[in-house]
Amino acid sequence: MGWEPAIAAEDLWEGELTTMTLGGQQVLLVNADGEIRAFEDRCPHLGSRLSEGDLDGCTLVCGKHLWEFDVLTGKGTNPGDSQLTLYECRVIDGTIEVLIP
Ligand code: FES
CATH of residue 56's domain is: 2.102.10.10
Q: Residues 30, 88, 39, 60: is their CA dihedral positive or negative?
A: negative
Nearest CA to ligand 1 atom 4: 65
Nearest CA to ligand 1 atom 3: 65
Q: Say if residue 79's pLDDT is above 80.
A: yes
Considering the chain, what is the average pLDDT of its residues? 97
Q: Are 28 and 17 in contact (CB under 8 A)?
A: yes
Domain ranges, residue 95: 2-100
DSSP 80: S
Cα gap 37→16, rounded to integer Å: 11
pTM of the model: 0.95
Domain count, the chain: 1
DSSP string covering 34-78 = TEEEEEESS-TTT---GGGSEEETTEEE-TTT--EEETTT-BEEE
Q: Give me the mean pLDDT over the 60-88 stretch.
A: 97
- Going by pLDDT thresholds of 50, 70 and 90, the confidence category of residue 10 is very high
Question: What atom of ligand 1 comes closest to residue 50's alpha carbon?
Answer: 2
User: How much is the pLDDT for 58?
Assistant: 96
- For a ligand 1 pocket test, name from 50, 64, 81 the mutation site with the most ligand atoms within 8 angstroms of its C-beta: 64
User: How much is the pLDDT for 1?
Assistant: 76
